[in-house]
Amino acid sequence: MFNCIFCKINFGIIQVNKVYENKFVLAFKDKQPKAPIHILVIPKKHIINLNMVKKKDIWLLGILQFSIVTIVNKYPDMRKGYRVINNCGINGGQTIFHLHYHILGGKIFTGLMNN
Ligand code: 5GP
Ligand code: ZN
């Protein structure tokens, strides 16, 4: 998708600090980190958000989530845990309309609404 920032990142048009890549998934550091470790994990395929995932793409969700495990295991600072967030849609606080998970770590999170 030409107007999509994350597709531009995927195609190398916008530069990022990549932390992980496989055939289907790309992960890179968030440009405005909200925690000591803040990584975004995206499918290379343009899917608007979780709510727009079609049945034929369910397999990709498993790959995305297992990519999170693979990434986190590379960071000693997340050995004791981390937080995964998906903002879905306008009311969910989504600002980039290309499916992505936030991995937040390197600190202790308390309640869901506290940071
Ligand atoms: P959302 O609010 O859609 O869940 O999260 C979008 C995230 O993408 C934000 O945390 C924002 O900082 C990040 N972001 C937006 N544009 C860029 C960019 O060009 N490069 C990187 N690395 N992160 C970006
Ligand atoms: Zn996109």
Question: What's the CA-to-centroid distance between 96 and ligand 1, angstroms?
Answer: 7
Ligand 1 lined by 45 (C-beta under 6 Å): no
Domain ranges of the chain: 5-105
Ligand 1 lined by 28 (C-beta under 6 Å): yes
Question: What's the CA-to-centroid distance between 7 and ligand 1, angstroms?
Answer: 12
Ligand 1 lined by 61 (C-beta under 6 Å): no
| Superfamily of segment(s) 5-105 | HIT-like (3.30.428.10)
From the CB of residue 68, how many other CB atoms can be counted at a distance below 10 Å? 19
Task: Tell me the per-residue pLDDT of 32-67, one tens digit each, with 9 for 90 and over.
Answer: 999 999 999 999 999 999 999 999 999 999 999 999
pLDDT at 1: 67
Is residue 100 flagged as an active site residue?
yes
Structure tokens at 109: 């999170």
pTM of the model: 0.96
Calculate the alpha carbon distances from 91 to 4, 53, 86, 88, 94 in Å: 20, 18, 12, 7, 7
From the CA of 96, give the closest atom in ligand 1: 3
Mean pLDDT of the chain: 96
Distance between CA 64 and CA 59 in Å, rounded?
A: 9
